Structure 1
């Protein structure tokens, strides 16, 4: 049994109520509710942080174990098993529901692993939380911006299926992933650099063109070029414009 599972029941009790036998607890945690910062009662705060400590210890152990694998397939299998065995997602959903706000390396690493495993929707579900709390990516990553990280990964995913042809794009439903992510960007109005934004919309345009969704391809291509004149889809946009009878200045 993992260290997490051995301690979960005790930790949950500390979060829900006060253990009178343990004496008074003077620790205080910060909680955000409806945009206002409030304090969590001391005993509950201690329980929340104790639970984080348990899961952080489990994650530290998992990260150390991953270094022992030389093959990507073994790393992927280990990540999938660790997420299930340590019940990381259950913990993160509790963390989210409690409204607690502190730097959480477990949250960061689990989202990264979800992307590695292709569990994009679940990763997207945590993105607003990551952004609202200004959660940092681990130091080994070259970017500290979550949308940029995800766009880089999405671009590679799109390019992989695009290189395999129309059938692969349709089977993978990768276009749906781009649609979901773009919807998140539009909803939350997260800022992107022109280079990264152009990269996102250029790949979305290419994917849509590959399955003959020319209207969508045209719209994405125009947006990509507006963000970055060197996004690489001008010729494609001009050709699509002729086909669908659109005027373009490109």
Structure 2
């Protein structure tokens, strides 16, 4: 009969094979090596099963429904991980973050993402990019959808930009430039022309050749000039 220890090791092996997690890998700024405990291994095993369900579902809508259904299984574990300021390679928390964003839970997903970025957690290999770049692209695309629907992207777009600036994220300037440009568009829609123009100038400052804000900048300057003339008359 298989011993509890062997069953435990089998759970870890199964999770590792399906999720792509290596318990021995270094994944974040940590002063000491953390041994993956039984609780994490159990959640990895559960997540491997849920990932298989998601993969088998052919539609994006169906995949989103499955994610929404299974997410409560992991939220308590992730909350405790954050509350106790743990820091070890945590692929469960990373996938929870991705799923939260996928189902439109932007506030919770972004807060978790910023916590994980500070720890330099790794994205799953299939994403082939660091977490800050993934996050910038995701929030940019989400904010663009909100703009077209005439919905605000604040405070989440602002929050992401503030974090990237404060922590000096090491990434191609294109990513932050895109965020400045997108926030400028939202500010322009709201009539905050001075703030929008300042964001255009920031986008150009870090990405002079490809910021793509020249037209918006000129339009904003005209609007500000017109407002100044109106105020004088």
Shorter-chain TM-score: what band? Answer: 0.7 to 0.9
Query: Post-superposition shift, 1:243?
Result: 2.2
In the alignment of these two chains, the number of paired residues is 199
Query: Post-superposition shift, 1:38?
Result: 5.6
Matches of 1:36 and 1:113 in 2, distance apart?
A: 25
Matches of 2:140 and 2:75 in 1, distance apart?
A: 25
Partner of 2:213: 233
TM-score normalised by structure 2 residue count? 0.77
1:95 and 2:89 are equivalent in the alignment: no
Runs of 4+, deviation exceeding 4 Å: none
Matches of 1:234 and 1:90 in 2, distance apart?
A: 47
Partner of 1:174: 153
1:192 and 2:154 are equivalent in the alignment: no
Matches of 2:115 and 2:154 in 1, distance apart?
A: 24
Q: Which runs of 5+ in 2 are unaligned?
A: 1-27, 227-233
Q: CA RMSD in A?
A: 2.4
1:224 and 2:203 are equivalent in the alignment: yes
Deviation per CA, 1:72-99: give whole Å up to 9, x if none. Answer: 1111111011012x1x111012123334
1:149 to 129, 134, 142: 134
2:96 to 110, 117, 127: 110
Matches of 1:116 and 1:36 in 2, distance apart?
A: 29
User: 1:1-250 maps to which residues of 2 (within 5 A)?
Assistant: 37=31, 49-84=37-72, 86=73, 88-143=74-129, 145-164=130-149, 168-169=150-151, 173-229=152-208, 230-245=210-225
Instruction: Work out which structure has the larger RCO, using CA pairs closer than 8 Å and 6 or more positions apart in sequence.
Output: 2
Q: Secondary structure at the match of 1:65?
A: helix
Q: Secondary structure at the match of 1:175?
A: coil
Matches of 2:142 and 2:118 in 1, distance apart?
A: 26
Matches of 1:79 and 1:93 in 2, distance apart?
A: 17
Deviation per CA, 1:122-158: give whole Å up to 9, x if none. Answer: 1222234312322110011031x22211111111112
Matches of 1:208 and 1:193 in 2, distance apart?
A: 24
TM-score normalised by structure 1 residue count? 0.72
Q: Do 1:175 and 1:208's aligned partners in 2 also have CA atoms closer than 8 Å?
A: no
Q: Secondary structure at the match of 1:232?
A: coil
Deviation per CA, 1:180-218: give whole Å up to 9, x if none. Answer: 212222333323311111111111111221222212211
